Chains A and B, each alone.
Chain A
Amino acid sequence: AQTVTQSQPEMSVQEAETVTLSCTYDTSESNYYLFWYKQPPSRQMILVIRQEAYKQQNATENRFSVNFQKAAKSFSLKISDSQLGDTAMYFCAFMKRGGSNYKLTFGKGTLLTVNP
């Protein structure tokens, strides 16, 4: 079974600054995907960024980037130039690759507040 741990229940950042959210995971699988999902207040969860475990290069999506350390089983999210619209709950998630990919295993989440 996989576990995902987010050790920061809440974080805050000033608008335009950079913030890093932490995530560690535990698995015996060698092939998997890791994701960061964003859940704004009272709105549906959306995918922010994904990382394939077999790729060494860290994924980037505009202002969002990850630091993937496979040996350490660490997967942090960096948000650059933070915007007010980034205020949301952020969930780190794991999915086994191969077979019939299906189930996401989520961490408890980090509530990020961007202050003006």
Chain B
Amino acid sequence: DTGVSQDPRHKITKRGQNVTFRCDPISEHNRLYWYRQTLGQGPEFLTYFQNEAQLEKSRLLSDRFSAERPKGSFSTLEIQRTEQGDSAMYLCASSLYGPGGTPYNEQFFGPGTRLTVL
């Protein structure tokens, strides 16, 4: 396993369209996180899963955003009716929480999906 992968790496869409991003975590990792990084800012937490359960969603995650991790492996992040303000880098990270993991729950990041909404 070579790390966290994300697909696509770049997405350009028109305002009002729906987009879906995929994240494949490191295979033995049970936690998966989504962050959003806008220009000039650090990543901001959006949501996270432990196995297939979504345990927390940030206030940043409006009703137009939905994330799933159906079998506790890969995850998808969908944005409906995209707006120009959704333009950002969407980062996925994974970690092994619990036995075998680090006490500081080290998160390993993917390369991100850069979304541009025209």
Contact = CB atoms under 8 A, between A and B. Distances in A.
Q: For chain B, what secondary structure do more than half of its interface residues adopt (helix, strand, loop), or is it mixed?
A: loop
Contacts, number: 60
Contact of B43 (A9, A97, A104): A104
A28 B56 CA distance: 21
Interface size class of B (residues with CB under 8 A): 20 to 34
A91 B43 contact: yes
Nearest to A39: B109
Interface residues of A, number: 28
B28 interface: no
A4 B42 contact: yes
A45 B43 CA distance: 10
A52 B102 CA distance: 12
Interface of B: 3-4, 31, 33, 35, 40-45, 48, 55-56, 91, 97, 103-107, 109-112
